[in-house]
Amino acid sequence: MEEFAGRVAVVTGAGSGIGLALARAFAAESMSVVLADVEDAALEKAAAEVAESGADAVAVRTDVSDPDSVAALADTAYDRFGAVHVLCNNAGVSGGGLSWEIPLDEWDWILGVNLRGVIHGVHAFVPRMVAGGEDGHIVNTASVAGLVTTPFMASYNVSKHGVVTLSETMAVELAMVGSPLGVSVVCPGWVRTRIHEADRNRPGRSAGAGDGGEPDPAFAAMRGVVEQWIAGGMDPAEVARQVLAAIRERRFYVKTHAAMEDLIRQRHAAIEAGADPPASLPTDFTAN
Ligand SMILES: NC(=O)c1ccc[n+]([C@@H]2O[C@H](COP(=O)([O-])OP(=O)(O)OC[C@H]3O[C@@H](n4cnc5c(N)ncnc54)[C@H](O)[C@@H]3O)[C@@H](O)[C@H]2O)c1
């Protein structure tokens, strides 16, 4: 998609981080922007800022893990603007721990937001985007965790590998049916956002709590380390810049951090060789 001005973008998770940077970048291209988020105050603030920049901006409180909420978001976007040209399924949350110790309700939360959230976006919007017949683009935010396997992040890894393969499948299928829609999957390393505080939006209890609800000390320690990596991470505005370039160039994989390439190669080499899976430690997925 080469022409942005006058067209319509929908961004989930637009209240913070990468989603807010995407909303700002689309507004700067004179697009109308529908901002969706579950966190009311952050959403209203983000929408007000985007509107102040001169864009037509609409805030729609949305819980992407709820299919009815995402269907209502699509209805609002189409009622208001009559079309959607760029759909960013971006909202996401994080958690962690040893695979076999992650409580089932944490699996439900992470998969509900990160994977079902994207599925709900695809289900609610893409049939209408295909029927509209115009060119446009679907952007799904995965992570480098969707391309490699990092220990202590099983629920997040499973959700992001799911987003990558859903995006790949959809790109192939849209080409097969002759649709002009493009697809990109965004696979960043560390980005300077509030992802490490994702449990601020978790219904019930904190991420990393054990089955009894008590905080897990290993998770708390890991969170401290991750906080430092995130503080040294890429500016979300740079991720947004790369996403807009990928939309323009119709590029599928948006791999923002050069340092991840070796880890991707190591995983693929192990698969080809039938070797054991490498532990992909994301210590250097910082700002490069
Ligand atoms: N920050 C990183 O290092 C990094 C790296 C790779 C991928 N990502 C991915 O980028 C995406 C954006 O995250 P971010 O880093 O900007 O974090 P962030 O926490 O700053 O922003 C995420 C936004 O999603 C919203 N959200 C959470 N649950 C929601 C729900 N159920 N429905 C709707 N909105 C919800 C939050 O309120 C928040 O505004 C996520 O999918 C994340 O997994 C982040």
3-state secondary structure 186-231: EECCCECCCHHHHHHHCCCCCCCECCCCCECHHHHHHHHHHHHHHH
DSSP state of 15: T
Query: Which of 22, 24, 37 to probe ligand 1 with, by most ligand atoms within 8 A of CB?
Result: 37
pLDDT in tens, the chain (288 residues): 999 999 999 999 999 999 999 999 999 999 999 999 999 999 999 999 999 999 999 999 999 999 999 999 999 999 999 999 999 999 999 999 999 999 999 999 999 999 999 999 999 999 999 999 999 999 999 999 999 999 999 999 999 999 999 999 999 999 999 999 999 999 999 999 999 999 998 987 665 566 555 656 666 666 778 888 899 999 999 999 999 999 999 999 999 999 899 999 999 999 999 999 999 876 655 544
Atom 41 of ligand 1, nearest CA residue: 92
Q: How many CB atoms lie within 10 A of CB 253?
A: 15
Token representation of residue 248? 């323009």
Nearest CA to ligand 1 atom 32: 63
Sorted by where each begins, the domain ranges of the chain are 8-284
- What is the DSSP secondary structure assignment for residue 117, as one 8-state letter? H
Mutating to test ligand 1, I would choose from 191, 196, 283 the residue with most ligand atoms within 8 A of its C-beta, which is 191
Contacts 24+ apart (CB under 8 A), 48-56: 49/24, 50/23, 50/24, 53/24, 53/27, 53/28, 54/27, 55/26, 55/27, 55/30, 55/31, 56/32
| Gap from CA of 274 to ligand 1 centroid (Å) | 34
Nearest-CA residue for atom 16 of ligand 1: 17
Backbone angles phi, psi at 9, to 5 degrees: -115, 140
Pocket of ligand 1 (CB under 6 A): 12-13, 15-19, 37-39, 42, 62-65, 90-93, 113, 141, 143, 188, 190-191, 193-195, 198, 201, 230, 233
- Indicate which residue's Cα is closest to atom 36 of ligand 1: 13
Phi/psi-derived region of residue 91, left when phi > 0, alpha when psi is between -120 and 50, beta in every other case: beta
Which tokens sit at 97?
A: 């721990």
**156 flagged as catalytic:** yes
pLDDT at 219: 63
* pLDDT score for 226: 83
> Cβ(119)–Cβ(42) under 8 Å?
no
Active-site residue identified among 125, 156, 190, 219: 156
**How far does the centroid of ligand 1 lie from the alpha carbon of residue 90, in Å?**
7
Ligand 1 center to 255 CA (angstroms): 17
Question: Could you tell me the distance, in angstroms and rounded to a whole number, from the CA of residue 41 to the centre of ligand 1?
Answer: 15
User: What is the strand order of the sheet 136-141 is part of?
Assistant: 57-61, 32-37, 8-12, 86-89, 136-141, 181-187, 253-255
The Cα 158–Cα 241 span in angstroms is: 27
Query: CA nearest 202: which of 288, 284, 112?
Result: 112
Whether 106 contacts 207, CB under 8 Å: yes
Select from 101, 111, 112, 92 the least CA-distant residue to 36.
Answer: 92
Ligand 1: centre distance to CA 93 (Å): 5
Domain 8-284 has CATH 3.40.50.720: yes
- Placement of tokens 């009559």 in the chain: 82
Residue with tokens 């939360």: 109
Which of 11, 12, 16 to mutate for ligand 1's pocket (most ligand atoms within 8 Å of CB)? 16
What does each C-alpha distance from 60 to 35, 46, 136 come to in angstroms? 6, 11, 21
Strand ranges, E, within the chain: 8-12, 32-37, 57-61, 86-89, 136-141, 181-187, 253-255
What 3-state DSSP class applies to 36?
strand
- Coil vs helix vs strand at 12: strand
The whole-angstrom separation of Cα 31 and Cα 54 is: 10
pLDDT at 93: 98
